[in-house]
Each structure stands twice: as C-alpha cells, then as structure tokens.
Chain A
C-alpha cells in the first residue's frame, strides 16, 4: 500500500471504483459542503474536491476536503499548478496529509483568463507532470523537491487527469505514459462522450502496457439538458461531444431530457465495467450532487465495497 486510502484499497482489491466530485462554495461556511456531501456518502469511494475550478475563487480545496472527511467521506484533494509555487504546494501537501488527506489529483489548472480574476499572475512554477514527480519524491524518497529530508513523509495516493480527446489525439497516450513515468497511481479522464475515440485510446494504452501500470477511471458527466450538451460541445476546450448525443437528447420529450442524459451515462458505465483497461468510473455530476444516489443506483454500482 502506498497510502492506505480507501480508493487505493478498492482499486488494489480489483473492485470497479466509483468516484464523485464536489465543488467548494464561493464563500464561507461548512453547510453547503456538508449538504452536498450528504448525497455522496456511501455512493462513492472517494470524492474529488476541486481547486478553484474554472479559475474562479472558492473555498480552498484542502479546507473543503477536511469538511468532507468529517462527514465520513474520503476526499480526493485536487491541486492545480496555476495558483501556487513549489513551496506552497509542498507545505499544503504536508498539512493536508497531517490532517488525514490521502488522495491527491495533480492538475495544470484552467488558465486564469477564464475565471473571475483574469488579471491574476499564473504561477505554473511546476507543471502537472512535475507535480506528480514531486509528490512521488516526497512519498517514496521522503525528500522535498529541493532535496532535504522530510520528517514523516506524506503517504499520498497520486492521481492525475488525462484528456483522451484533445489534440493531438495520437500524442495523448504518450502523455499518459509520461504521467506514469512521473509516478502517477491513478488517472481520472476528461468527460467521455465520444465512446469510439475513447475505445481507440484505451486500446492503444492496453497495447502499450500502460493499463497494467496505472488505474484508469473513465470520466462521466450526465447531460442535464440539450443546452448543456451544446455548450460542452462548442465552448469547453478539449471536449468532444458527438452530434448523436445531442440528437438523442433532442429526440425525447422535454421533461425527459435529464432522464435521457442519465440513461446515456448508465449505458456508458455498463460498457466501462466490461472494458479492458478501465478500473472504474469518475462521475462528475456538476452541481447535481443530489442526483448521484439515483445515478449510482441505476448504474448498478451499489453497494460500494467496504475494505478494512
């Protein structure tokens, strides 16, 4: 065991993992976090706590992670390279681990230009690839990036993202290989809608032996509306939404669109369960946390395994 986190145990035991996501509030107070967490408890193995996602200021990821931990849920602490340098990152990791955080997701971060402080200076002292290596060094060598020894090194289960759809497509699997070489333990992918392209990506990863070295959790986000699908297709960089998805949502009665979105997600999850090289699903039900129990039920991933 590298970290002993629940997520690590589930994956190591060979169970099909199911993780969720929770966005911290744009303000103070634990109530909103606790409320969102209440829908996820018992439904997911770990919940990603986003870090100023879309470059908009929110409660810090580690603080919201701790609230989630108090609620009996295991957080997956996200950290982006945009907002802090290597000193701040390493000290946050020490603090997070000390207070019980065991999983981390290492990300570059959306560019600050998208968010509510477009004038901000982006840090990017290290990139996501280098952040993975830094956390691994802290854990496995017990050393800071600068080389000094760490007293009681943090034992973190190291995650990262992978976008199988962004250009250049042929390079994406090599980028995955680089993240593995940097020391990543698990991967959560970008939201998948183009199954054909994803199958090609996983096939390539299988052929290169990558899926034996890393746990890949397929990213799923159910479409709530036709508008959301169109927005994801045209406005979200690196997102690949085939027209068939939009047509299928348009083809049902207006009151049934969200239900159809969940149905598509469940069909995807069924396929992922059988797909060689896929170790689980990462469900990103954006501002739709209350729907997670229903989705988990319909996707037949309940009850979640409990491992001592």
Chain B
C-alpha cells in the first residue's frame, strides 16, 4: 500500500491560513489502512483545527467526509454537490488523491494534509516499512525477492558495496544491507548464479510521468468529469 504520514499540525494551519470554510476529505483506502488519512484521522485533525481556531479567537467552519478512494472518479462524484459550500479542500489522501481532487475542482484550492512517504508493508500496527520505488523494471526475480533499488541506500544493481558492516548498511548499523540479505537468501535457495551476471545500466523509466494502459483497453477519447 501507499504509506503517508500526517504533516506537522503547524504546517497544516499555515496552509489553511485565511480560510474560514474548510472541507477535510479523507480517503478510505491506503492512507486509512496506514492510519494517516482515513475517517478517524479526519475527525481527529478536524477536532484539533477546530480547537486551535477557537483558542486563537479565530474560529473556522470545518467539516469532514471520507470517500472510498480519492484516486478514482467513481468515488469523487460524491463530493460534487458538497464542495461548492467551502473555500478550500484539505485532502488527507496520498499525493495522487490530492491531485485528482484538485483536477476535478480546479476553481477550489486543494491542500495536502499528509506527506506521501512510500509504497510499503505493514510490519505491525502503526509500523510501516518501505519496499518498492515503483521503478517500472522489477528485478526481484533475480534478487531473491529483495529490492536493491529500494533497500540498498545507493540503489546498486551489482552490490554489495565495500561498506557492508557485519550485515548492516554503512549508513546505519540498524539498517540491514540489502545485498547481504540478497546474498544470504539466494545462497539458501542455491541460486547465487542469479547475481553472478552483471546487471547493465538501468533504463530509468520513472523520469517522466508514466501511463499504463492494460492490454485490451485504450485511452478514453475524452476524459469524463
């Protein structure tokens, strides 16, 4: 899933400065699962903003709504009849959701309330770790299911570098060396030949905005609103 964390409260307040009528839009998918921007987080943030406004003698009118997914038009439609009543939209979705919301309502400012952080896994409740950089050319088949692009601090395709320290990365003793892990796993599987080959320079595909059209589908003629 996409993992996000809420922006510092002061930063959110600074973004909202001058606005009196705010609609905070939560997202019920990734950011809800990682406890950053779902229904619960929307109500907590709204309560904090409401309280802070009152304490400052500058009360604001703030409402909340959480839709299933902000990155999907089908669910955004539910907002069409509501947004006109507000000066500004605060979005607790990932960066994709924020932009899709802003694209749908170009006359209304849409502000982010979270920092989108990574594609990761749920290690424990409230504890998430990055696993994928969505590079568009997955090498996991050769690297024992451990991503060197994400897990190696230098993103090396032909590691390990000389800084491996007792299985840790040179940047931090608490950070395991990705290539040490790759080596150990492939050794265990009897597949070290996978990394004997030199991986050539990568064809970086994430340097421009990417589009995916699945087989059998095509780009719609006009983008329906």
Give the Cβ gap from A177 to chain B, nearest Cβ, in Å. Answer: 8
B124 at the interface (CB under 8 A from A): no
A155 and B160 alpha carbons, distance in the complex (Å) = 28
Is A126 touching B201 in the complex (CB atoms < 8 A)? Answer: yes
Residues of A within 8 A of B213 (CB): none
Which residue on A lies nearest to B173, using beta carbons? Answer: A237
A166 and B164 alpha carbons, distance in the complex (Å) = 5
A114 and B167 alpha carbons, distance in the complex (Å) = 18
Residues of B within 8 A of A109 (CB): 154
A108 and B163 alpha carbons, distance in the complex (Å) = 10
B217 at the interface (CB under 8 A from A): no
Residues of A within 8 A of B163 (CB): 110-111, 166, 237-238
A174 and B154 alpha carbons, distance in the complex (Å) = 20
A168 and B156 alpha carbons, distance in the complex (Å) = 16
Interface residues of B in 186-202 (CB under 8 A from A): 192, 196, 198-202
Residues of B within 8 A of A178 (CB): 158, 196, 198
- Selecting from A127-135, A222-230, A300-308, the interface stretch reads A127-135
- Per-residue 0/1 for A147-181: is the Cβ within 8 Å of any B Cβ (1 yes, 0 no)? 00000000000000111001110010011011001
- Per-residue 0/1 for B80-113: is the Cβ within 8 Å of any A Cβ (1 yes, 0 no)? 0000000000000000000000000000000000
Residues of B within 8 A of A161 (CB): 162
What does DSSP make chain B's interface, helix, strand, loop or mixed? loop
Give the Cβ gap from B150 to chain A, nearest Cβ, in Å. Answer: 13
Is B170 touching A145 in the complex (CB atoms < 8 A)? Answer: no
Please count how many residues in chain B sit with their CB below 8 Å of the partner chain's CB atoms: 29
- Selecting from B30-38, B50-58, B68-76, B177-185, the interface stretch reads B177-185
Give the Cβ gap from A174 to chain B, nearest Cβ, in Å. Answer: 6
From the candidates A82, A127, A238, name the one contacting B165 in the complex (CB within 8 A): A238
From the candidates A110, A133, A167, A168, name the one contacting B198 in the complex (CB within 8 A): A133
Which residue on B lies nearest to A164, using beta carbons? Answer: B162
Please count how many residues in chain A sit with their CB below 8 Å of the partner chain's CB atoms: 36
Whether A130 touches B204, Cβ cut-off 8 Å, given contacts A111-B170, A238-B164, is no
A238 and B166 alpha carbons, distance in the complex (Å) = 8
Mark A residues whose CB is within 8 Å of B.
81-82, 86, 108-111, 113-114, 122, 124-130, 133-134, 145, 161-163, 166-168, 171, 174-175, 177-178, 181-182, 190, 237-238
Mark B residues whose CB is within 8 Å of A.
153-167, 170-171, 177, 180, 183-184, 192, 196, 198-202, 204
Q: Contacts A129-B158, A168-B183 given; 6 further ones with Cβ under 8 A?
A: A109-B154, A111-B163, A124-B156, A127-B157, A237-B164, A238-B164
A-B pairs with lowest CB-CB distance, top 10: A163-B162, A129-B158, A237-B170, A237-B163, A237-B165, A166-B164, A127-B156, A130-B201, A108-B161, A238-B162
